[in-house]
Structure 1
Amino acid sequence: MTHPSALLPIAFTHLIRTHASQAEALQQLHPAQLELLYAQHWLKAAVPAVYGGLEYSLPQLVALEEAMGWADGSMGWVFTLCAGAGWFGGFMKPAFATRIFSDPAVCLAGSGAITGMATRENNGYRVRGSWQYASGVKHATVFTANCSLAGTEEVLTLAFLRSEVTLQPTWHTLGMVATGSDSFSVNDVWIPEERLFKIDPASVQVKAPLYYFPFLQLAEATLGANIGGMALHFLDAAAVQLAAKTHITSVQQQTMQAVFTQASQALTTHRSALHSAVEAAWQYCVAQHTISDHLLHDVSHSSRALARAALQAVDTLYPYCGMAAANPQTEINRVWRDLHTASQHALLTFEV
């Protein structure tokens, strides 16, 4: 297992990090960061190849999402959530999918919360609702959301166009500032039937292994890897801070080095476990177009374990990093804030 830096050219990492503080000030990704995403077609990483997407394998996705999280937390998070939403293309009606993914700047954002209401009307649905925490929403071209179907217990997943939604500036957090994870709403909008899709093996439109992999474990693995990447970034920054401490005793130096080594080893162990679990589950999925329960459990468990280990490693090292770590204008502090904000995601909070 290599360091995430091996997946990103030095020039890409430099560009992403050079604009990270400006992106925070903008409260959304910097135009140069966005242009990199578009130029590399990364927002189409999980989009079916038949629609012009990259259709990466799950191990490729997880590795790249870890690397992007290592480069910058907000950049990695937007890539993970928005490219991940591109995976829905495997379930969308072909005519609609062909249309939206032909846009070179296509970006899907949305929410899994069931906070909308839909009513059947004229071969479509009349919808109203509001959804929070939609990462990348400020430059999204398509929005996906869950709605209750009036008069039933059924939940519908629908796609909205940019012109149909209203953005609401509700993202006020300690970190992940540049994700611009604001809310969006629709008010009495009619959506045609073609924009309804269902995330279910029986509803797959593109018959490829990536779209037979269960969404829950796909989401867990990609978020866990992203958080792991942020922790690696913190360790890199912490190593610089520790090396700068020259006016300390040899005993103190040894203590710091022992803490750093232990944190690094723990993170490596849990990163390796996640990548191994993902690879095993993926190979089974490729061969069988389904996955056994124990392999799915391994992915879920290792994702959560990595998220916990990442947080623990960073918090163990933080007190040794000096005042630079507490200064919101420094890189190491931004990484610390990003990781602690990302760790609040409910999907990785409780053990399976």
Structure 2
Amino acid sequence: MAYTDHPSARLLPGWVETIRGHAAEAEKLGKLHPEQLKLIYQQQWFNLLAPAVYGGLQTPLPQLIATEEALSWADGSLGWVVTLCCGAGWFGGFLQPGVAKQVYADTEACIAGSGAATGTAAITGDGYIVNGSWKYASGVHHATYITVNCLITNGEEPELDDDGAQLILPFILNRADVTLLPGWKYMGMVATGSDAYEVNNLYVDKSRCFKIEAAAAAIPSLLYTYPFLQLAEATLAANLSGMAVHFIDLCVPAFAYKATNIRRVNEANVALMESELTTATTQLNQTRQDFFAAVDASWQQPTDIGLLKEVSHTSRILARTARECVDKLYPYCGLLAALPVTEINRVWRDLHTACQHALLTFAE
């Protein structure tokens, strides 16, 4: 199976039925539906990047992004939650083994978190006192553990890193020690439940602190020495690609309805719509091909800086192409595309909300 096949080739029809059949209700809930979660746990999608030694799937990057693209094609919010939570599960390759075994002892382990360093961790004895609040943690309602990034202090002074800047370190916390706060009020990705959370004067043992760098990997595997930046860029771009393919799929019946039910749409209009659909499909598929090829090449030679830069470049091109192709087709879809309760509108909202992620907004 080629990575650039239609994303549906990677999912069983029953899985898609479960995911899409509960997508509207998940949006009402503001988090994934229990039946969607049941499927995720059965397939271990939250553990796609977790180390095999702890029961995870430790999926190679090319296969990972193909799976994530397919899940986001099935539903943008579900794909995004799986991507962000299994991305946090990648940290299992950097946790101290004793802590990692605790985390993954739960067969429904799920790690959520935020990359923003909006907390502080004050050094005290054999640990830290953590305070802070963090926004936009996708999947936080399903998390068993939550990660936080903190500015490190020593007494009243900032602890400095080797470059003289204030040291920032991540910690992994028990979900029970974290207070969730309502924070997601945006038009799309509603079912991701990307709410905020806070921690107040929590003592955290130093064993819960870890570093995200190749030299600090606890698992000797390419997956945990591959650069985090390109891994993050590629996984997010794959999500946007999957949503765009879903939107293009939905354009087929939308255009057909408009061609046969709107009297002011003539043969020339129909030809124009079909031409635009063909162009968008071809453009997106070519960009997907370039993207998957770049990821695969970097996976074969992960120390080649040029190949890694190409992953960053093609990730941004794919994100832009996904958005532009959808926007080109949207005006032809009729008012149903603007009705919030329709599937095509949900896909449009999810894509445009996900496209706001800063990692893929600016040129590398």
SS of the residue aligned with 2:118? strand
SS of the residue aligned with 1:157? strand
Q: CA deviation at 1:105?
A: 0.9
CA RMSD of aligned residues (A): 0.7
Is 1:243–2:256 an aligned residue pair?
A: yes
The equivalences for 1:253-332 within 5 A come to: 253-285=270-302, 291-332=303-344
SS of the residue aligned with 2:57? coil
Candidates 98, 106, 110, aligned match of 1:107: 110
Residue identity opposite 1:172 in structure 2: K
Q: CA deviation at 1:140?
A: 0.5
Partner residue of 2:142? 139
SS of the residue aligned with 1:114? coil
Measure the CA separation in 2 of the matches of 1:200 and 1:54. Answer: 21
Which consecutive residues of structure 2, in runs of 5 or more, have no partner in the other structure? 160-165
Is 1:158–2:171 an aligned residue pair?
A: yes
Is 1:221–2:229 an aligned residue pair?
A: no
Measure the CA separation in 2 of the matches of 1:351 and 1:261. Answer: 28
Q: CA deviation at 1:102?
A: 1.5
Measure the CA separation in 2 of the matches of 1:135 and 1:142. Answer: 13
Is 1:205–2:218 an aligned residue pair?
A: yes
Candidates 15, 35, 38, aligned match of 1:32: 35
Candidates 191, 194, 197, aligned match of 1:181: 194
Measure the CA separation in 2 of the matches of 1:200 and 1:123. Answer: 23
Q: CA deviation at 1:121?
A: 1.1
Candidates 70, 88, 91, aligned match of 1:88: 91
User: Which stretch shows the higher mean deviation, 53-62 or 246-255?
Assistant: 246-255
Q: CA deviation at 1:346?
A: 0.4
Per-residue deviation, residues 275-318 of structure 1 (Å, max 9, x unmatched)? 00110011113xxxxx2111111000000100000000000000
Measure the CA separation in 1 of the matches of 2:29 and 2:341. Answer: 15
Per-residue deviation, residues 132-162 of structure 1 (Å, max 9, x unmatched)? 0100001101111110011221111111111
Which consecutive residues of structure 1, in runs of 5 or more, have no partner in the other structure? 286-290
Measure the CA separation in 2 of the matches of 1:295 and 1:94. Answer: 32
Measure the CA separation in 1 of the matches of 2:127 and 2:22. Answer: 43
SS of the residue aligned with 1:186? strand
Per-residue deviation, residues 206-259 of structure 1 (Å, max 9, x unmatched)? 001100110010000000010000000000011110112214311111100111
Measure the CA separation in 1 of the matches of 2:336 and 2:112. Answer: 34
Measure the CA separation in 1 of the matches of 2:81 and 2:337. Answer: 24
TM-score of the superposed pair, with normalisation by structure 1: 0.98
Residue identity opposite 1:228 in structure 2: S
Partner residue of 2:348? 336
Q: CA deviation at 1:99?
A: 1.1
Measure the CA separation in 1 of the matches of 2:228 and 2:214. Answer: 10
Q: CA deviation at 1:92?
A: 0.4
Measure the CA separation in 2 of the matches of 1:61 and 1:133. Answer: 23
Displaced runs of 4 or more, over 3 A: none
Percent of matched pairs sharing the same residue: 52
SS of the residue aligned with 1:197? coil
Q: CA deviation at 1:268?
A: 0.5
Partner residue of 2:361? 349
Partner residue of 1:234? 247
SS of the residue aligned with 2:301? helix
Q: CA deviation at 1:122?
A: 1.9
Q: CA deviation at 1:334?
A: 0.3
Partner residue of 1:54? 57
Is 1:167–2:180 an aligned residue pair?
A: yes
Partner residue of 1:12? 15
SS of the residue aligned with 2:188? coil
